[in-house]
Structure 1
Amino acid sequence: MVSNGHNFLLDLAGSGFFLLILVHLPRQAFSGRSLPLGFGQPPEALCAAAINSLGYKCQEFEAITDDGYILSVQRIPEGRAGGRGGGSDRPPVLLQHGVIVDGMSWLLNSPDEALPLILADNGFDVWISNTRGTRYSRRHLTLDPAKQEYWNWTWDELVIHDLSTVADLVFNQTAQKIHYVGHSLGTLVVLAAFSEGKLSDRIKSAALLSPIAYLSHMTTALGVVAAKAFVGEAVSILGLSEFNPKGVQEELFMKALCDNPGVNCYDLLTALTDIALKNEPQSTSTKNLIHLSQTVRDAKLSKYDYGSAQMNIEHYGAPDPPVYDLSKISGDIPLLLSYGGRDALSDVQDVEDLLDALKLDKSLQVQYVKNYAHVDFVLGVTAKDLIFNRVMSFFRNQ
């Protein structure tokens, strides 16, 4: 497991949402689909940047959502030489990262400690998703990422558009139902989708690492201050539609948060440098962060609140935004929830509230790791033995 100095930092970073407070330090398409030019230019492909040099085959795909976002998806179809061979019988696994990180976050450890590569070496067909707005998915058919319209979305749209689009891609390419691994926000979006009866024809089982749904017991003072400060009116004054953690205006906003009584950012900043150098934080929409702050402040899981009864009526036909009712999640999709006793974001009490809300019995497995913090479930050096082997065993038993 990472050192204590990193644990608290990574608790914040892993949620993505709270990484924004800390960071004020200075293709080829295999989908067979011809893409219009669109806006935005992809950077060096993730396959080339992090996977091919390690001896793994890697394929780049592009998936287009029905609202026009061009998503980058990577496939590791088999393990390294000496691992289990390829073949159409390899079960597909889709990995979904949190917010303000991207698919690279799964690949920061050595091949023997990185979940995608461990899965590939153990007989799985691995797919890595990158959500809209991140460096590998910063493109659109008609919208320019430099313009406000591109950033008019929250995690509601990830539920409605991104997740279903990528799941369709994997299902259509493999002709098999998918095993799913989500971390942090990657757990929230799939739980929200399940609660609305989505994806049951595509996903076979789901492993939820550091699951977040309810956030009212969050124990970090920094996160609480951020949630209280991140209201639509306050952020609108900054004129931000894209929230870039490395931007000048965002830097001023974050410094103001760190000046709050009882909030100490110094120790966190001193531990940030190596993580930032490996995987710089990614942009998200300001509206998305407002939605997440609503989840913290309102102690409920609902769609985006537009701030007035009239505007909510215009969007939803009701004065309050609809609630994602997790009790409606069917037992048809087996779930594994793995959470830690040192997680300042996915707090133990909040996870217990989630377990109560799910109202599942035989289709639910729970793993509690006393000494694990939020990002230990992705980057912990003992995660292979404690977490990843359990995940693989869970998948194989379905």
Structure 2
Amino acid sequence: MVSIHLPQLIAMKGLCIVLTTLLLPLVKAGLFTSQTNDSVTTELLVKEHGYPFEKHTVVTEDDYILELHRIPYSARANSSSSSGPRQVAFMMHGLGVSSSDWIILGPNYSLAYALSDAGFDIWMGNARGNTYSMKNTKLSSKSSEFWNFSWHEISVIDLPAMINYVLEFTGEKQVRYFAHSEGTTNYLVLNSMKPEWNDRFKSAHLMAPVGFISHSTNIFLAIGSPIAGQPNPIREILGSFKFKPSKEIALVLKELTCNFSLPEQFQVLCGNTLFSLTEFNEDSANEEYISDIMATTPSSLSINQYLHYIQEYRSGYFRQFDYGSIRNLVEYGAADPPEYNLTNVKGPVFIYFGEADKYVTRPDLDRLIENLPNSTLAGLYAVPRGNFDHLAFLYAKDVKKVNDKVLEDAKSIK
């Protein structure tokens, strides 16, 4: 294992930025060519895969227009008919992605299709600011005010708005919740802040759950922590803004760090440049779908979502956004942000994790479990592959083994 210290990381990151700036004209000249198709959407893929698709919209209490994607039934042979009520499976994506992650690998691999084939009514959420939820009835997405949110607002405003809509539309009283990464954070925050919401979840299936992350070995958290891990005047001056890594830049960095014979230390950046901030091992990916993955990932997000996670990494707490002691007094009535009360989270909750996840490590996962009530955890599943990492839950060649376990657990709760 390569050991890299923070100064080296910062130096490498800076060098990549310089090289990117110098080589970007070569990208535009066609030296580095991308095979991605920007017209790829969740709707297009679902229909191409032969499943019915519906688009729904929800307006939040603070005027964001969120897009929900539904697969009402499975069109596969020998599946149950399209008539009659179905139990709702609500699926929430992770940081910087969208509903497309749940269907990107097609009917033989993706979890949404496995659940649909099993008879569930599939609803996929899209958080404010991502590809499908870029509108507000009062604010332009070009304004700083539009991007003034973190995953806290997604958790306590977006998620309940979407689930309320789904329950009202279907007439069901509960949903089964399936989430990855930031989607798991949303569940933990919502039920910590609003305990009455526990009753609207029949079960929760949390893949790579992100609560405490102080032991993370993700290099982007390490790089960002000294700069953005605590409030500072520069951060306040910059304000809130959209964050979406350029696909052209990602392409250059991929070529630089993955395909050329650079020193070993630079190879740790390969997965990051291709798969955003989570250090996914490209060798584990289902190669057949790489172009679709690159066409839909990453999605846009608020820089505050990323900063909020950096704060959690630096502080060691699972708590609300830190604005600095002065503003915290105004927002929270205390110099420090309040912690999320995980004792409010009820079960049944199933947790799935990979031993090679650099974002969610075992010590942090154990701490999360220790803070949950004893009756909450219904199942803990370690994927039986040593190099199964954070994004493997979405893109890995062998993700079906996880999907089979998730489906088994979902069926076990009547």
TM-score, length-normalised on structure 1? 0.80
SS at match of 2:197: coil
String of CA shifts for 1:128-173, please: whole Å, max 9, x gaps. 1111111110000110000111011111101111000011011111
Q: 1:303 to 1:175 in 2, by over 3 A?
A: same
Gaps of 5+ in 2: 1-16, 28-37, 252-264, 276-289
Contact 1:45 1:136 in 2 (8 A): no
SS at match of 1:133: coil
Contact 1:68 1:140 in 2 (8 A): yes
Q: How does 1:250-269 map to 2 (within 5 A)?
A: 266-268=269-271
Contact 1:45 1:60 in 2 (8 A): no
Q: How does 1:62-211 map to 2 (within 5 A)?
A: 62-82=57-77, 83-176=79-172, 177-196=174-193, 197-211=195-209
**1:287 maps to what in 2?**
304
Q: 1:78 to 1:247 in 2, by over 3 A?
A: closer
**2:56 maps to what in 1?**
61
Gaps of 5+ in 1: 1-20, 27-42, 252-261
Cα distance in 1 for residues equivalent to 2:43 and 2:371: 42
Picking from 44, 47, 66, the partner of 1:49 is 44
TM-score, length-normalised on structure 2? 0.77
Question: Which amino acid is the alignment partner of residue 344 of structure 1?
Answer: K
Q: 1:248 to 1:317 in 2, by over 3 A?
A: farther
String of CA shifts for 1:222-281, please: whole Å, max 9, x gaps. 431223333454555666611222299999xxxxxxxxxx77655336755857633231
Contact 1:228 1:293 in 2 (8 A): no
The alpha carbon displacement at 1:106 in A equals 1.6
Cα distance in 2 for residues equivalent to 1:207 and 1:100: 20
SS at match of 2:367: helix
Q: 1:264 to 1:223 in 2, by over 3 A?
A: farther
Matched, 1:322 2:322: no
Cα distance in 1 for residues equivalent to 2:329 and 2:301: 26
The alpha carbon displacement at 1:186 in A equals 0.5
Q: Note the aligned Cα RMSD (angstroms).
A: 2.9
Cα distance in 2 for residues equivalent to 1:79 and 1:270: 35
**1:221 maps to what in 2?**
219
Cα distance in 1 for residues equivalent to 2:407 and 2:327: 45
Higher relative contact order structure (alpha carbons within 8 Å, sequence separation ≥ 6): 1
Cα distance in 1 for residues equivalent to 2:248 and 2:109: 35
SS at match of 1:118: helix
The alpha carbon displacement at 1:365 in A equals 1.0
**2:286 maps to what in 1?**
none
The alpha carbon displacement at 1:105 in A equals 1.6
Q: 1:218 to 1:269 in 2, by over 3 A?
A: closer
Q: 1:88 to 1:144 in 2, by over 3 A?
A: same
Look at both structures and tell me which one has the larger radius of gyration over its CA atoms. Answer: 2
Give the count of matched residue pairs.
348
Question: Which amino acid is the alignment partner of residue 399 of structure 2?
Answer: A
**1:11 maps to what in 2?**
none
Cα distance in 2 for residues equivalent to 1:239 and 1:201: 37
Matched, 1:296 2:325: no
String of CA shifts for 1:180-233, please: whole Å, max 9, x gaps. 001001101101111221422322110000111010111233431223333454
Q: Percent identity among equivalent residues?
A: 27
Question: Which amino acid is the alignment partner of residue 246 of structure 1?
Answer: S
Q: How does 1:217-256 map to 2 (within 5 A)?
A: 217-231=215-229, 232-233=231-232, 234-235=234-235, 241-246=241-246
Picking from 375, 385, 391, the partner of 1:375 is 391
